[in-house]
Amino acid sequence: MRPGKRLSIAFVGAIAAATVLTGCGDAGSSGTEAPQQAASGEGCAPVAGEQLVALEDDKSLQNADNIIPAINREAATPQLVAALDKVSAVLDTPKLVLLNKAVDVDRKSAQVAAQEFADANGLTDGVEQGAGGRITVGAGNFTESEIIAELYKIQLTAAGYQVTVQQIGNRELYEPALEKGEIQVVPEYAATMAEFLNGKADSGAQPVSSPDVNETVTALRGLGDKVGLSFGAPAAAQTQNAFAVTRKFSEKYGVRTLSELAERCSGSATVLGGPPECQERPFCKPGLEQTYGLAVGSFSSLDGGGPLTKTGLRSGTISVGLVFSTDAAYAQG
């Protein structure tokens, strides 16, 4: 979806969880100064820097948008589901960050990045042969969906299917095609898909997703049953709203979680950046205020996890910005 030395995905994946999402070590552990304590109500002014880190959502503001294979029920044989579930079993958020980096930063094709990942993780080892036949895997029109669709193709090909990947666009286009069997498989996001199906069934329905992945997937499967869709196992990888700061900001103020951000940085100097709708969306600015008690001094209208927000962080014009949890920017450094 959404730079530095080229490193093996297999090698970096093992250490990425510690270095990508949690940011830095204890204050002073690498010769840095102790965190600066902002005066009450003063907030935390932006700190320019190249490396971005995502602050931990320690109170679970965001719902469980785990990646999950969505399958037309007629195609959902045990062998097909088992092949797709093997992708879910090895795909976590740090690995997905590195896959996105391989395409968005290192400029590999989605096919090459997926094949390197499959080889490094032994994905096709011991795949059970299915009944065969033709399978079309749909993909959204963004990097991450294209990569995962290629991973699904690799798995299903190993299971004996003749597989084509077709980029279809947004959910409003590919979900009906999945229901009709025009495509048989598509990578999805549990909470987002659950609310999409929920809204199709009843535009005024109460939300069914939550931060709990098991509850969310249970609701998703119930909704899928009504429209002829099945779902495989959810991956540990989640793509959701995340709030990023520069590593230098994190080290200066001792901020690694959203709770620490609210405790230490509420005040006039703190600038939040994101898309214009962030000011009204419950999982953006209002959620930070209500769940964490964060009070920012100002809001900068930029984009949703795009180049404007990342440039604002790196240039020191915003303190914290909305950058999605699997963005390739977290692998730079």
The pLDDT tens digits for 203-260 are 889 999 999 999 999 999 999 999 999 999 999 999 999 999 999 999 999 999 999 9
- What beta strand segments (E) does 103-195 contain? 134-140, 162-169, 185-189
Percent above pLDDT 70 for the chain: 88
| Model confidence at 9: pLDDT above 70 | no
Question: Structure tokens of 191?
Answer: 């909470």
| Model confidence at 16: pLDDT above 60 | no
Domain residue spans of the chain: 22-61+240-331, 67-231
- Give me the sign of the Cα torsion angle 319, 323, 326, 330: negative
Question: Structure tokens of 8?
Answer: 């093996």
Dist. CA 60–CA 218, nearest whole Å: 19
pLDDT attached to residue 169 = 86
Collapsing DSSP to helix, strand or coil, 62 comes out as coil
CATH class of the region 67-231: alpha beta
pLDDT attached to residue 85 = 98
pLDDT attached to residue 36 = 66
| Model confidence at 19: pLDDT above 90 | no
pLDDT attached to residue 5 = 30
pLDDT attached to residue 175 = 96
Dist. CA 173–CA 292, nearest whole Å: 36
- Give me the sign of the Cα torsion angle 318, 278, 148, 53: positive
Largest CA distance in the chain: 66
pLDDT attached to residue 37 = 62
Dist. CA 230–CA 73, nearest whole Å: 5
Question: Structure tokens of 47?
Answer: 């700190």
Task: Give the CATH H-level superfamily of domain 22-61+240-331.
Answer: Osmoprotection protein (prox); domain 2 (3.40.190.120)
